[in-house]
Amino acid sequence: MTLPPGYDACSARRATGFAWGDASDWLRSVLDSGVSLHTWAAAQDDAKPLVGRGTLYSVGAQAPGPEGRPRWAVRRYFRGGLVAPLLRDRHLTSRITRPTRELWGTVEARARGVPAPAVIAGAVYRAGPFYRADLVTELIPGARTLEALVFGSGGTEDASVLLAHAGRLVGLLERSLVLHVDLHAGNVLLVRGEEDSGARVVDLDRSVVFPLDASPFGEVMRKRIERSLRKLAKQYSRPITEHEWTALRAGYEEGE
């Protein structure tokens, strides 16, 4: 398994994984204990469940990460779409697993200035033709999905401001030649802190990072995020106003 600089491969029993150098000893100790990272996280005294696909746990950092943040997010990869009820968290074994794809996608996107939470570790647990997998990233305090902030209850912010942030993120992805083939309102995170404000992208295991001299790939991600917003607007009975669409689309062009 080829890894980006700064990451080490780890293995134990029927599990394999990788970790940021400072977290390698921690990962080895967890894998040696025979439990998954997701199970380990759930058992921590300071674990806080975060709602998402499956359960995402926030836990205290066990070692310094690339950005030195005090908490980590630990998640299990669950299937989406039509096969979700049947396979849940099982994935067909392939040459490159989802954690490894997400590691490379995240590292390469961040190197081009795309804001995304830094990866700490990943692990794969094989069983016959299938595997289950977990990923650990640094936790961005206060981050919530674009879906939750625009369509969730209790939102008090101007949605046009949030959508403008999302639009700027999409435009940056385009200019950086990072194609997120599954971009939607659930994997765009919004942060409103004084130091961390803006949008971040997650779920980069389904991204393609093109050479910097490649031709632009068009408006694929714009169409995806707008299709996602239309679908959610119907689901929540909360239409996107023309002013909000304008803010989103103006964001695409900012920074050019």
Cα distances (Å, whole numbers) of residue 240 to 13, 94, 158: 51, 40, 12
211: alpha, beta or left? (left if phi > 0; alpha if psi -120 to 50) = beta
How many domains does the chain divide into? Answer: 2
Same domain, 93 and 197: no
Percent of the chain with pLDDT over 90: 76
Average pLDDT rounded to a whole number, residues 147-166: 84
26 shares its domain with 131: yes
Predicted local confidence at residue 254, as pLDDT: 84
Q: Quick one: 128 and 233 in the same domain?
A: no
Asked if residue 141 lies in contact with residue 196, where contact means CB atoms within 8 angstroms, the answer is yes
Domain membership flag for residue 2? no
Which of 138, 166, 199 finishes a domain?
138
- Read off the pTM: 0.92
Task: Check which CATH number belongs to the domain holding 208 and give it.
Answer: 1.10.510.10
> What's the pLDDT at 80?
63
- Regarding whether 202 and 182 lie in a shared domain, the answer is yes
Among 116, 138, 160, give the residue marking a domain's end.
138
Parent domain of 59 = 7-138
Three-class SS state of 128? coil
pLDDT at 155: 54
- State the pLDDT at residue 163: 96
Q: What is the mean pLDDT of residues 153-160?
A: 71
Cross-strand pairs, 178: 209
User: Residues of 12-51 as b/e, b for ≥16 C-beta within 10 angstroms?
Assistant: beebbbbbbebbbebbbebbeeeebbbebbbeeeeeeeee
Q: Is the pLDDT of residue 255 over 60?
A: no
238-256 mean pLDDT = 91
Query: Do 162 and 134 share a structural domain?
Result: no
Residue 127: C-alpha distances to residues 14, 42, 83, 109, 123 (Å): 8, 22, 18, 31, 13
pLDDT of 32 over the 80 cut: yes
Specify whether 128 is located in the same domain as 23: yes
Residues 28 and 125 in one domain: yes
pLDDT tens digits, one per residue of 190-243: 987 656 678 999 999 989 999 999 999 999 999 999 999 999 999 999 999 999
pLDDT digits (tens, 9 = 90+) for 170-195: 999 999 999 999 999 999 999 876 56
Does one domain contain both 121 and 195?
A: no
Q: What is the pLDDT of residue 90?
A: 74
Task: Look at residues 72, 104, 138 and tell me which one is the last residue of a structural domain.
Answer: 138
Cα–Cα dist 131/87, whole Å: 11
Same domain, 13 and 124: yes
Q: Identify the residue with better confidence: 55 or 144.
A: 144
Whether residues 128 and 219 share a domain: the answer is: no
* pLDDT at residue 83, rounded to an integer: 54
pLDDT tens for 48-98 read: 998 655 579 999 999 999 999 999 999 999 866 555 555 667 777 777 899
Answer yes or no: do 108 and 186 share one domain: no
Considering the domain architecture, whether residues 100 and 169 belong to the same structural domain is answered as no
Residue 21 lies in a domain: yes
State the CB neighbour count (10 A cutoff) for residue 68.
11
- Residue 15 has φ and ψ, to the nearest 5°, of -115, 145
Mean pLDDT of the chain: 90
The rounded distance, in Å, linking the Cα atoms of 103 and 135 is: 9
153 or 67, greater pLDDT: 67
Flag whether 1 is in a domain: no
Give the largest Cα separation in the chain, rounded.
56
**Residue 236 belongs to a domain:** yes
